[in-house]
C-alpha cells in the first residue's frame, strides 16, 4: 500500500462554492470557524500536507476576500470562481488544471474538514488499476421506503454504501466525463459523472471522521469524551477527635480537625470530581463559614459531587486516592475504604484505588501532625 508519507503526485480540487445556509452560520459554512480555524482551511491543509500540488479551490462568486482570509499563508493554493451548481464548479476547477494535466486528481467537499491521510493513501492505491475510486462506509441501520409518511417497503442495506469525499480520478478521464455530462443539471457526485461516461469506480474503505458538516449542531463545541480532575487536602491530627478516612471510622489516638468530619481522603476526592467538571472546589460548594456543615459527614459532599457528574452526562471512569501519613496504617482498612467510596459514587469497586505512602518522617505528616491526601478522578461521557 502507498505510504502516507510518499504519495504519488496528485492535484486536488476542493469544492467550496456553496452557500451552506442550513448550517445556521453568519457566513457560508466553508468559511465559518470550526475547531479554531475556518472549515475550508482544515481540508486544504490536509491535502497540502499529503503532497497535493496544486490545490484548486472553487469559491462562490464574490467570495474572494473570505477565501483569502481563510487560506492566508498557504502556498500552492489557487482560487477559481465556481458555477451555479456543484457539477459546474468542479468542471471549472478541472479546466483550471487542464494546462498542467496532472495524472491524478482528488475532488473533495470543503464541508468535510477532517481528512485522514490513510483514506488518501487508499484512494491513490486504487487509482493504480482503476480510473476512479471513492471512500464508502457500510449502512448499518435498516432502510425503509417512505410513501406519504408510511413505510412502503425496505431496501437491502447489505449492498448499499454511504459515499464520502475525497473522490480520486485519473485526470483526463474525469475532465472528459464532466465535459460530456448529459445528466441532471447537478450531478450528485463526481463518481456518478465518471460512471455515466462508462468507466468503473472502485470502492475503498472510508472513515467516520469524514463526516460532513451540514447543520447548526455540527458546529457546536462537543463536550470532551473524557475529563480528568485532581484534588489535594490536608488536615491536622488532634487529640479528642474521631478519625474518619475514606468514609470509614478508624480507631486511633488522634482524629482530624476540621469544620466537617475532616475526612481528608473524601475531601481530596470531591475536589478531584469538581475539578474534572470545571465546577470549582469543595469550599465553594460547602463553605466552612456555613454552620450547617459543622460536623457533617463528608460522604454527603461526595454524593453531591457524584450527582453533578451524572447531571453533566458523565460517569465515573476511575478514582485513584493516595493517603500520606505515618499513622495509622492504611493497609488494614483499604478494602473497606474502597467499598465505601464505590457506594458513595454508585460505581463498582474495581474503579476505586486507595493506597498510602509516608514522607520518611519528613515534614508535618512525617512528624505525625497531620494527614494529607491527593486524588485523581477520570470521567467519561455516557452515550
pLDDT tens digits for range 227-259? 999 999 999 999 999 999 999 999 999 999 998
What are the cell numbers at 172? 483526463
pLDDT of residue 155: 85
Dist. CA 44–CA 71, nearest whole Å: 8
Tell me the pLDDT band of 3, cut-offs 50, 70 and 90.
Answer: very low
Mean pLDDT of 108-115: 94
pLDDT tens, position by position, 251-264: 999 999 998 999 99
Least confident of 7-11, 20-24, 40-44, 308-312: 20-24
In the predicted structure, residue 19 carries a pLDDT above the cut 80: no
Dist. CA 376–CA 84, nearest whole Å: 56
Question: Between β-strands 352-357 and 314-324, what pairing exists: parallel, antiparallel or unpaired?
Answer: parallel
Mean pLDDT of 341-363: 96
CATH class given for the domain over 11-219: alpha beta
Concatenate the DSSP letters of all residues of 340-374 into one string.
HHHHHHTS-GGGEEEEEE--TT-HHHHTTSEEEEE
Alpha-helical runs (H) found in the chain: 39-49, 64-70, 86-97, 117-126, 171-179, 190-196, 264-277, 282-285, 299-311, 334-345, 363-366
For cell 477520570, the residue is 378
Backbone angles phi, psi at 192, to 5 degrees: -65, -35
Dist. CA 51–CA 41, nearest whole Å: 15
Sorted by sequence, the CB contacts under 8 Å of residue 255 that are 6+ apart come out as: 237, 238, 240, 241, 242, 243, 244, 262
Mean pLDDT of 33-45: 90
In the predicted structure, residue 22 carries a pLDDT above the cut 80: no
- Sign of torsion, CA 209 187 123 200? positive
Dist. CA 223–CA 227, nearest whole Å: 9
In the predicted structure, residue 286 carries a pLDDT above the cut 70: yes
User: How does 13-27 read in b/e, with b if 16+ C-beta sit within 10 Å?
Assistant: bbbbbbebeebebee
Which range has highest mean pLDDT (128-137, 145-154, 223-232)? 128-137
Dist. CA 52–CA 118, nearest whole Å: 14
Q: Which has the closest alpha carbon to 202: 163, 233, 230?
A: 163
Backbone angles phi, psi at 266, to 5 degrees: -70, -30
Dist. CA 294–CA 330, nearest whole Å: 26
User: How does 124-136 read in b/e, with b if 16+ C-beta sit within 10 Å?
Assistant: bbbbeebbbbbbb
pLDDT tens, position by position, 308-349: 999 888 999 999 999 999 999 999 999 999 999 999 999 999
Q: Which has the closest alpha carbon to 54: 5, 6, 98?
A: 98
pLDDT of residue 200: 95
In the predicted structure, residue 21 carries a pLDDT above the cut 70: no
In the predicted structure, residue 26 carries a pLDDT above the cut 50: yes
Tell me if domain 11-219 and domain 226-381 are identical in fold.
no
Tell me the pLDDT band of 186, cut-offs 50, 70 and 90.
Answer: confident
- End-to-end CA distance of the chain: give it in Å, rounded: 36
Dist. CA 300–CA 58, nearest whole Å: 60
301 three-class SS:
helix
Query: Can you give the residue ranges of every domain in the chain?
Result: 11-219, 226-381
For cell 478522578, the residue is 377
pTM over 0.85: no
What are the cell numbers at 235? 488536615
pLDDT tens, position by position, 60-110: 999 999 999 999 999 999 999 999 899 999 999 999 999 999 999 999 999
Mean pLDDT of 265-276: 97
CATH superfamily of 226-381: 2-C-methyl-D-erythritol 2,4-cyclodiphosphate synthase (3.30.1330.50)
pLDDT of residue 44: 96
Amino acid at each position: 500500500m502507498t505510504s502516507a508519507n510518499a504519495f504519488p503526485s496528485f492535484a486536488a480540487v476542493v469544492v467550496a462554492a456553496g452557500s451552506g445556509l442550513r448550517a445556521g452560520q453568519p457566513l457560508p459554512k466553508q468559511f465559518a470557524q470550526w475547531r479554531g480555524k475556518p472549515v475550508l482551511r482544515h481540508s486544504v491543509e490536509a491535502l497540502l500536507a499529503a503532497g497535493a500540488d496544486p490545490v484548486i479551490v472553487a469559491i462562490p462568486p464574490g467570495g474572494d476576500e473570505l477565501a483569502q482570509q481563510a487560506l492566508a499563508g498557504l502556498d500552492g493554493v489557487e482560487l477559481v470562481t465556481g458555477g451555479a451548481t456543484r457539477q459546474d464548479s468542479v468542471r471549472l476547477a478541472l479546466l483550471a488544471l487542464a494546462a498542467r494535466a496532472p495524472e491524478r486528481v482528488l475532488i473533495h467537499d470543503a464541508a468535510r474538514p477532517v481528512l485522514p491521510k490513510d483514506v488518501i493513501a487508499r484512494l491513490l492505491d486504487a487509482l493504480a488499476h482503476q480510473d476512479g475510486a471513492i471512500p464508502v462506509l457500510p449502512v448499518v441501520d435498516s432502510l425503509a421506503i417512505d410513501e406519504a409518511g408510511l413505510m412502503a417497503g425496505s431496501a437491502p442495506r447489505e449492498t448499499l454504501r454511504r459515499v464520502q469525499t475525497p473522490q480520486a480520478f485519473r485526470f483526463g478521464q474525469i475532465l472528459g466525463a464532466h465535459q460530456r455530462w448529459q445528466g441532471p443539471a447537478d450531478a450528485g457526485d463526481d463518481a456518478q459523472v465518471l460512471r455515466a461516461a462508462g468507466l468503473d469506480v472502485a470502492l475503498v474503505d472510508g472513515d467516520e471522521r469524514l463526516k460532513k458538516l451540514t447543520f447548526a449542531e455540527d458546529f457546536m463545541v462537543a463536550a470532551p469524551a473524557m475529563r480528568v480532575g485532581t484534588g489535594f487536602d490536608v488536615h491536622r491530627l488532634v487529640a479528642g477527635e474521631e478519625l474518619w478516612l475514606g468514609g470509614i471510622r478508624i480507631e486511633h489516638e488522634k482524629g482530624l480537625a476540621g469544620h466537617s468530619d475532616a475526612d481528608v481522603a473524601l475531601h481530596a476526592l470531591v475536589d478531584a470530581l469538581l475539578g474534572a467538571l470545571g465546577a470549582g472546589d469543595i469550599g465553594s460548594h460547602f463553605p466552612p463559614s456555613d454552620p450547617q456543615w459543622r460536623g457533617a459527614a463528608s460522604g454527603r459532599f461526595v454524593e453531591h459531587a457524584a450527582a453533578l457528574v451524572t447531571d453533566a452526562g458523565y460517569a465515573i471512569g476511575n478514582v485513584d486516592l493516595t493517603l500520606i501519613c505515618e499513622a495509622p496504617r492504611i493497609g488494614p482498612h483499604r478494602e473497606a475504604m474502597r467499598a465505601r467510596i464505590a457506594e458513595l459514587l454508585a460505581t463498582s469497586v474495581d474503579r476505586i484505588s486507595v493506597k498510602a505512602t509516608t514522607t520518611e518522617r519528613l515534614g508535618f505528616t512525617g512528624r505525625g501532625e497531620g494527614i494529607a491526601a491527593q486524588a485523581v478522578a477520570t470521567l467519561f461521557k455516557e452515550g
